[in-house]
Chain A
Amino acid sequence: MVPINLKLGVLGEGSLNRRAAIIGILIILLLIMGGALYEMPKYYRDTEVWSSKAAMPWGVMVPTYAYFALVATGTSTLNAIYTVFGYEGPNKAFKKVIKHLIWFSLITLIPAWTPILSDLGRLDHFIWMIKGFNAFSRIAWMGALYGFFLVMILIELIFHIRLDAMDEERKKLLEGSALALTISVLTLIADLSLDGNLGSVFGASTGVPAWSGAYAPILFVVLAILLGAAWDTLYLMGVYGLRGKLTNDIKRFISKIYSYTMLITIPIIGFILSWEAITSYDYPPRWEFFKVLTTGHFGAEFWGIVVFLGFIVTYIIAIVGYELRSPSATALAALILIFAGYTFVYDFVIGGQMARLSFHNLDNINPYYIRFWPYSYHWGTPELAVLTGGIALWLFLLILGEVLLPLEEGEKPKHLWIFR
């Protein structure tokens, strides 16, 4: 692979091909965003989308939002845990990569927020999230917690960038200071409370038995950490691979730490799900969810992608990655996990609502006589446009940040004076 230096300074001095490649990627991403913007307004005129909400309020936008929100907070949780407990990795490899990881967490809010804000029927009433703040509503708290998270992660990023701009003596003093610890602890609180609260949004939905209850917040916290490990692995492999700086220390850090995280979190998620299934057996509305999840259309996805690939295959590969300290094996496990993770979140959100519909339409097992009109869910082109546009914007900003920001170890701010 031809190493591409993403630093703008070097980019300027580099060959025409390298510059053209990066500028070309950015232009393509902008064009995708433009196409999405053209298609997006149709979403707001689509009667079918809104009328279907009476039976099934949350479509593809919500699982996509939840997925990327978990990735953003999960990657940040791992950063904060390592910092709080003073973990530095092999030859302080974690310190070398931390700014890249914080930047990734921060910018991953984009593909999370784009679909969820587009999915609100009346974004023009959004001011009431503040003016009419309902302290009992989990969704209301999501807004407040995102504010907290954003502030903390920005402080964390600026802190680490400024740290590298200092002389060694001051740097050492600040690294072990109470200020550094406080920043990391507060970020960790923001991460965990966001994941837990996001789980509670589903847990508080008494109308959808598949979600409601106390297990959703725990599941979301663990899932965020797992997804965080998977995305961090791929991001570091990608960034350092492209820069031609994938050193042995970084390879060892990735294979040791992220494989280890996968090996811990995969069985926990498996346990939570199995336990929920067993305890739901005697509660027909919740049991219906597990039937929907494990049979028919969802069944193929669940057994094939989530259980076989996401749990079993990934676990075996993660063992190989950990035991042999193989970054390639860890990256393969991470690659499978990011798809299996999305499939699981999608099935949890959409399948959960499908279970409510199918349960309430089966008279012989429905003890409540409550019925929704028959309904099946399909993605629409405008919905896909919103998702594609959000992801294109995310990648655009991610690359731009890698080019503009001083994210390498010891790199001094050159372009953005705020960090000096």
Chain B
Amino acid sequence: MTRYAMVIDISRCLGCGACVAACIAENLNTSSDELEFKPKPSIIAGLLGLPRKEIPPAEYFVEKAAEQVEPEKAQEEVRKLWLRTEVYAIPSGTYPNVSLMFYHRICQHCTNAPCVTVCPTGASFQRKDGIVLVDPNKCILCGACIAACPYAARQVDLLTKTIDKCTFCAHRVDKGLLPACVETCPAHVRIFGDLDNPNSEVSRIVAKYHPPAGTPHGPIRGTEPFVFYMPSGNYKPSVKEIEQEHLKEAKIMKKLESESS
């Protein structure tokens, strides 16, 4: 059976934020009828200077965005609206012995997902492949899942007034593609795959290094998370491995493009 997981090699992270940008770009511009992958408000696109797919009719946010002239304020607004994944720097030590690490906040797609357990309406659910999703049509926005998630991975979609979170780009994964953040990362920090397939990169890393999941210090309260953090920097993927992954990706993309044309 398939069990999707992600490895985040923190030691390789540059803090460039390409994963966050890719996540926004991907999910903003994805047109899908499936509700769990509903595009985000076009206002975020506007704030980021991305092309707007469609503008929500006379929404409050449009007015509010027009007032946001300072880039810092605009970024803060994006931060409020977009929290599916986030990277922030954690400095430590005192000069001259200082170090910087980047923590990646993302839904952990836990096996014992407390958000799924507490959801009264079944809006939060887990697929057989382990991906945790939210059906906004069923969400009453009671906030129980936010209080239940120890990884702070859930947010409110201000337009639909329902819960929103990382989907592991399920719409892409179902087509055989990698999540947008994984595909975009220039330093190969985020590695995605099937943990039940012993030949997958994720599977081999987890088997060899036993990295902690959930946080760099391990899971919180027995949730069995499936995002593993490699703080040690032991893992060095070969160029061949990366090339193979990108070739595979390119082939799928080509096939999809030819099908659509």
Q: Which A residues contact B (CB, under 8 angstroms)? A: 45, 47, 50-51, 53-55, 57-58, 119-123, 125-126, 128-129, 131-134, 136-140, 142-143, 201, 204-208, 211-212, 353, 360, 363, 367-373
- Asked whether, in the complex, the Cβ of A121 is within 8 Å of the Cβ of B140, the reply is yes
| A204-B114 contact, Cβ under 8 Å, with A123-B140, A370-B151 | yes
**How many angstroms from the CA of A201 to the CA of B143 in the assembled complex?**
11
- Asked whether, in the complex, the Cβ of B147 is within 8 Å of the Cβ of A134, the reply is no
Whose C-beta in chain A lies nearest to the C-beta of B91?
Answer: A363
**How many angstroms from the CA of A370 to the CA of B107 in the assembled complex?**
12
Contact of B150 among A58, A132, A370 (CB under 8 A): A370
- Asked whether, in the complex, the Cβ of B220 is within 8 Å of the Cβ of A360, the reply is no
B53 is an interface residue with CB less than 8 A from chain A: no
Contacts of B223 in A (CB 8 A): 206
- Asked whether, in the complex, the Cβ of A137 is within 8 Å of the Cβ of B118, the reply is yes
- Asked whether, in the complex, the Cβ of B118 is within 8 Å of the Cβ of A122, the reply is no
- Asked whether, in the complex, the Cβ of A121 is within 8 Å of the Cβ of B121, the reply is no
- Asked whether, in the complex, the Cβ of A206 is within 8 Å of the Cβ of B150, the reply is yes
Q: Which of B88-122 contact A (CB under 8 A)?
A: 88, 90, 92, 103, 105, 114, 117-122
B213 is an interface residue with CB less than 8 A from chain A: no
**How many angstroms from the CA of A343 to the CA of B155 in the assembled complex?**
28
- Asked whether, in the complex, the Cβ of B140 is within 8 Å of the Cβ of A129, the reply is yes
| A57-B123 contact, Cβ under 8 Å, with A128-B140, A206-B223 | no
- Asked whether, in the complex, the Cβ of B158 is within 8 Å of the Cβ of A47, the reply is yes
Contact with A along B219-236 (1 / 0, CB 8 A): 011010000000000000
Minimum CB–CB distance for A50 against chain B, Å: 5
**How many angstroms from the CA of A47 to the CA of B68 in the assembled complex?**
15
- Asked whether, in the complex, the Cβ of B150 is within 8 Å of the Cβ of A125, the reply is no
B50 is an interface residue with CB less than 8 A from chain A: no
- A–B Cβ pairs within 8 angstroms, 5 of them: A53-B156, A58-B143, A121-B140, A138-B118, A207-B151
Minimum CB–CB distance for B104 against chain A, Å: 10
Contacts of B170 in A (CB 8 A): none
- Asked whether, in the complex, the Cβ of A125 is within 8 Å of the Cβ of B140, the reply is yes
Minimum CB–CB distance for A213 against chain B, Å: 10
B161 is an interface residue with CB less than 8 A from chain A: yes
Contacts of A201 in B (CB 8 A): 144
Contact with A along B124-149 (1 / 0, CB 8 A): 00000000000001111111101111
B80 is an interface residue with CB less than 8 A from chain A: yes
B55 is an interface residue with CB less than 8 A from chain A: no
Q: Interface majority SS on B: helix, strand, loop or mixed? A: loop
Contacts of A212 in B (CB 8 A): 221
Q: Which B residues contact A (CB, under 8 angstroms)? A: 60-61, 64, 79-81, 83, 88, 90, 92, 103, 105, 114, 117-123, 137-144, 146-152, 154-156, 158, 161-162, 215-217, 220-221, 223
Whose C-beta in chain B lies nearest to the C-beta of A123?
Answer: B140
Contacts of B137 in A (CB 8 A): 125
Contacts of B156 in A (CB 8 A): 50-51, 53-54, 121
**How many angstroms from the CA of A316 to the CA of B143 in the assembled complex?**
40
**From B81, B123, B140, B220, residue with most partner A Cβ within 10 Å:** B140
Contacts of B142 in A (CB 8 A): 119-121, 139
Contacts of B103 in A (CB 8 A): 369-371
Contact of A57 among B81, B147, B217 (CB under 8 A): B147
Extra A-B contacts (12), CB below 8 Å, given A363-B90, A371-B152? A47-B158, A53-B141, A122-B162, A125-B137, A128-B138, A132-B123, A138-B118, A142-B120, A143-B120, A367-B215, A369-B216, A370-B151
Minimum CB–CB distance for B65 against chain A, Å: 11
- Asked whether, in the complex, the Cβ of A47 is within 8 Å of the Cβ of B64, the reply is yes
**How many angstroms from the CA of A201 to the CA of B148 in the assembled complex?**
10
Minimum CB–CB distance for A348 against chain B, Å: 13
- Asked whether, in the complex, the Cβ of B139 is within 8 Å of the Cβ of A125, the reply is yes
Minimum CB–CB distance for B58 against chain A, Å: 12
**How many angstroms from the CA of A368 to the CA of B217 in the assembled complex?**
6
Whose C-beta in chain B lies nearest to the C-beta of A132?
Answer: B122
**How many angstroms from the CA of A317 to the CA of B138 in the assembled complex?**
50
Contacts of B154 in A (CB 8 A): 54
**How many angstroms from the CA of A53 to the CA of B216 in the assembled complex?**
26
**How many angstroms from the CA of A125 to the CA of B143 in the assembled complex?**
14
Minimum CB–CB distance for A138 against chain B, Å: 7
Contacts of A119 in B (CB 8 A): 142-143
- Asked whether, in the complex, the Cβ of A121 is within 8 Å of the Cβ of B90, the reply is no
- Asked whether, in the complex, the Cβ of A57 is within 8 Å of the Cβ of B144, the reply is yes
- Asked whether, in the complex, the Cβ of A122 is within 8 Å of the Cβ of B158, the reply is no
Minimum CB–CB distance for B91 against chain A, Å: 8
Whose C-beta in chain B lies nearest to the C-beta of A357?
Answer: B152
- Asked whether, in the complex, the Cβ of A372 is within 8 Å of the Cβ of B152, the reply is yes
Minimum CB–CB distance for B151 against chain A, Å: 6
- Asked whether, in the complex, the Cβ of B152 is within 8 Å of the Cβ of A207, the reply is yes
Minimum CB–CB distance for A350 against chain B, Å: 12
**How many angstroms from the CA of A139 to the CA of B119 in the assembled complex?**
8
Contact of B88 among A129, A139, A205, A371 (CB under 8 A): A371
**How many angstroms from the CA of A137 to the CA of B116 in the assembled complex?**
8
**How many angstroms from the CA of A140 to the CA of B118 in the assembled complex?**
8
**How many angstroms from the CA of A53 to the CA of B61 in the assembled complex?**
17
Minimum CB–CB distance for B18 against chain A, Å: 20
- Asked whether, in the complex, the Cβ of A122 is within 8 Å of the Cβ of B140, the reply is yes
Contact of B138 among A50, A51, A132, A205 (CB under 8 A): A132
**How many angstroms from the CA of A45 to the CA of B118 in the assembled complex?**
27
- Asked whether, in the complex, the Cβ of A126 is within 8 Å of the Cβ of B144, the reply is no
Whose C-beta in chain A lies nearest to the C-beta of B10?
Answer: A369
**How many angstroms from the CA of A58 to the CA of B147 in the assembled complex?**
8
**How many angstroms from the CA of A122 to the CA of B123 in the assembled complex?**
12
Minimum CB–CB distance for B120 against chain A, Å: 4
**How many angstroms from the CA of A137 to the CA of B118 in the assembled complex?**
4
**How many angstroms from the CA of A378 to the CA of B72 in the assembled complex?**
24
Minimum CB–CB distance for B225 against chain A, Å: 11
Contacts of A211 in B (CB 8 A): 147
